[in-house]
Amino acid sequence: MIYYYIYVIISLFCIVMENYIKTEKEKKGVLLLAILPVFVLIAFKASSVGSDTPVYITMFEEHTSDSFVKGDEGRIEYGYVIFQRLLYYISHDPQIIFIATGLVVSLACYKFFLNNARNSCLALYFFMSLGFLGFSLSGIRQTLAISIILLSFQYIKEKKLYKFLLMVGLAMLFHKSAACFIPVYFVAHRSLGTKQVNLMFLGALVLFFFADKFLWGVEAILNYNYGLEETGNGYIFFGVILLITILVIRSRQRILSSLSSNETMININFLSLAAWTVRLVSRTAERVSLYYLPFTAIALEEFITSDKKNRIEWTVAWFFVATYLFLRRIGIQEDLSNYTFFFLQ
C-alpha cells in the first residue's frame, strides 16, 4: 500500500528536522519536502480514490448546467462553483480539480505548521495521520475550507477579529461548516486555571447529552441535510483525543515555560475534544472536528518537544498510535485502501 511509503518518507523528515536542522532555511526546505508526498497523493489520485471523487468529476464536467449551479438542492456553495469555473478555463480535464486542491492544501499546511510548530514535520505527521489525509482524498470542498481556516489562524494570533471573520467567511463559500470555527477566536487566548479546565471537561460531558439537539440546530442554520448518522464506534479515536488532552493539560506549565509558548493550542484542543464527544452520538460531527484537528496535532507535538528527558520515547509511542489509527481507517475504506494514480487506471 502506497501509504506506507508516504509515511516512511515523512517520518524520516521528522527525524532529520529533530536532529540535524540548524537554520530556518533548512527547516523550510525539509518541511516542503515532507509535504510533497501529500500533494502527490491528492493531486494525482485516480477517479476511484475517494467516495466523493466521482461526484466532483461529474460536477466539473457539467459545469455549465443549471444542476451544477444549483447543486444538490442548493448545497454546493458558490465559492466552489467559481473555483471550478476558473479551473475549467485552464483545463477541461477534471484532474485539474485535484491538482489545484493539492496545491492549496500543501501551501496552507506549509505556512501553518512552519509558523506554529517547533518540529513542523512531526506536527504535520500527526495531522495527516489523525484523519485529515484520508478525508482530503474525498471531501474536496471542506478540504479547501479547512485550508483557508489554517491561514485564518494568523489573525487569531494577532487578535484581528474582522480579518479573521473575513477569512472564515471565505472558507464558508466553499463549505458552510467552516462557521463552526468562529468560537475558536474567543477561546484561543483565555488563561487556563484549574476552574477553567474543569468547566471545559464538564462542558464536553454536557454536550454529549445534548448532542442530537445541537446537531439538528446546526444543520438547520447551515441548510444541510446530512442527518444524524448514528454510530456505535468512534470510542477509540475519542479515547486518543481525550488522552492527548489530559497529557497536554497535565504538562501545560512545562510546555509554556520550555517552549516560551502560550495556551492557544491547548485551548483549541478542548474544542477538538468537544467535537469528538459529539462524534460518539453522530458521525456528522467528525466533519466539525477536522477544523480543530491541526491544533490537536500541534498540542501533541508541543507536549513531546517540551519533554527533553523522554522526547524520543514519546515520539516513538505516538508515531505508532497515529500510524495505527490511520491504517485502521484506511483499511476499512476500500475506495482509499486501493489507491492508484490517475495515469495508471
Taking only the tens place, the pLDDT of each residue in 22-33 is: 778 888 888 898
pLDDT over threshold 60, residue 72? no
Q: Which of 227-231, 303-307, 332-336 has the lowest mean pLDDT?
A: 227-231
Query: Are 278 and 288 contacting, i.e. CB atoms less than 8 angstroms apart?
Result: yes
Grid cell digits, residue 288: 466539525
Q: What is the mean pLDDT of the chain?
A: 82
Task: Determine the pLDDT at residue 126.
Answer: 92
Task: Determine the pLDDT at residue 153.
Answer: 95
Residue 131 and residue 44: Cα distance in Å, rounded?
20
Write the Ramachandran bin of 67: left for phi over 0, alpha for psi from -120 to 50, otherwise beta: alpha
Task: Determine the pLDDT at residue 216.
Answer: 45
Task: Determine the pLDDT at residue 328.
Answer: 82
pLDDT over threshold 70, residue 237? yes
The domain locations on the chain are: 190-307
Q: Which of 123-127, 143-147, 264-268 has maximum average pLDDT?
A: 143-147
Q: Which of 41-50, 55-64, 208-217 has maximum average pLDDT?
A: 41-50
Task: Determine the pLDDT at residue 2.
Answer: 79
243 residue type, one letter: L
What is the pTM assigned to this prediction?
Answer: 0.87
Task: Determine the pLDDT at residue 67.
Answer: 47
Higher local confidence (pLDDT), 2 or 297: 297
Task: Output the DSSP codes for 128-182.
Answer: IIIIIHHHHTT-HHHHHHHHHHHHHHHHHHTT-HHHHHHHHHHHHTT-GGGGGGT
Query: Are 288 and 176 contacting, i.e. CB atoms less than 8 angstroms apart?
Result: no
Question: At CA 234, angle to CA 279 and CA 192, rounded to 5?
Answer: 60
